Amino acid sequence: MSVFQKMIFLLLVTLNLYSKAFTIHTFGDSHSKFCWQAIALDNVTVSIHYLGPKLMYSFAKDPLSLIKSDMNNVKQGDIICFCFGEIDCRCHVHKYINLGYEYVIDELVNNYIKAIVLVCRLLSDVNVWIQDFR
C-alpha cells in the first residue's frame, strides 16, 4: 500500500467512512488523476473528473460551468475532492508580486473556498475534501 493510500485509508477510518461502499470523486487539474488512479481500497471507488489544466482562479470565478455536467454522478454519501491550485502557485502568483504575494494567495484561497461552499449548497450529504499541496 502506497503512502497516499495509507493516508486515504486512515482518513476514511478516522471519519468512520470505511465500513460502507462509496465513491470518491476528484475534480481538477492533473492532481485529480495522479495518485488517485492507483487507489485500491475495499468499498472505495475513485471516479476521476480530470478537467484539464484548469486554474483555482478559474474554478473560483465560475465553478458550476466547470463541473456541473459531472455532478449528476455524485450520490448521497460520496466524497468530492477538489484538486486545483498547483498551476496558480507555480505559474501565476509571482506575476502579482507588486500586490504582495500574501494578499494574492489569500484572495485566491478565499474565493476558492467560497466557490466550494457554493457547490456544497447544491448537494446534500456529500463529504468534501480539498487536496493541499504544500
Q: Is 47 exposed, middle or buried (0-12, 13-18, 19+ CB in 10 A)?
A: middle
Q: How many residues does the chain have?
A: 134
* Nearest-angstrom CA–CA distance, 20 and 65: 31
pLDDT per position as a tens digit, 56-94: 889 899 888 878 777 878 888 888 888 888 888 888 888
Q: Helix, strand, or coil here: 131? A: coil
Q: What is the pTM of this model?
A: 0.79
Residues 6+ apart with CB under 8 A from 127: 15, 17, 77, 78, 79, 80
Checking if the pLDDT of 14 tops 80, the result is: no
pLDDT 10s digits, 19-62: 778 888 999 898 888 888 888 888 889 999 998 899 888 989 98
Q: Domain map of the chain by residue range?
A: 3-130
3-state secondary structure of 17: coil
User: What does the longest C-alpha to C-alpha distance in the chain come to?
Assistant: 50
Cα separation, 46 vs 109, in Å, equals 25
Report the distance separating Cα 71 and Cα 69, nearest Å: 6
